Amino acid sequence: MGDRILILYGSYRADRQGIRLADYLVRAFAARGASPELIDAKALDLPMLDRMYKEYPKGGAPAALEDLAEKIRAADAFIFVAGEYNWGVQPGLKNLTDHFLEEWFWRPAAIASYSAGRFAGVRAAQAWHGTLSEMGMVVISSALAVGGIDQAFDAASEPVGESGAALQRAFPRFADDLAWWTEAARTQRARTKPPY
């Protein structure tokens, strides 16, 4: 089995464009031999954060939180598909992420940002970088940024046009960077217990 990668996506909009980027990443990582899984915040329909997973009595968390906590703990790496909303992060993805803390520790994270405009979600990516680092993940230096998301994919989530071509050129380095950090983290966790 290849690297277990959770691809987390958080738009709740009716006409979601970023889901095509998420679907593309699932296929592209699977083609490289990884074991990716899409975690769609809208499909999970978690409540707005009132109590973190760790704040429930053992065995008392809602089933969706229990299932997701297990998937996060079992994952080797994470990719956050981050749309930009008014220079900031998507509330749905942030809400999903904030339900957990220790479950994220000691694994690499990558950011694939997008927006309808030419800045390709990089302001959201910058905000996510600090958030994910604070939550115990090592954020890789390579990033994907897709501008004009509404024209970057066809209906089957295949890259098209200039933005799609740029994504395909950038993906191999992004994937190689994540694979290197995934192996490094897995090796280190096997060699020694994390300090906390």
Residues 136-158: tens digit of each pLDDT: 999 999 999 999 999 999 999 99
Band (129; pLDDT cuts 50, 70, 90):
very high
Identify the CA nearest to 68 among candidates 50, 28, 41, 88: 41
Average pLDDT, the chain: 95
Look at residue 196 and tell me whether its pLDDT is greater than 90.
no
Domains of the chain: 4-191 (3.40.50.360)
pTM for this model (two decimals) = 0.96
Q: How confident is the model at residue 169 (pLDDT cuts 50, 70, 90)?
A: very high
Mean pLDDT of 34-51: 95
Q: How wide is the angle at C-alpha 65 spanned by C-alphas 63 and 67, nearest 5°?
A: 70
Alpha helices in the chain (DSSP H): 18-31, 41-44, 63-74, 91-98, 122-134, 161-191
* Statement: residue 108 has pLDDT above 90: yes
Query: How far is 81 from 121, CA to CA, in rounded Å?
Result: 10
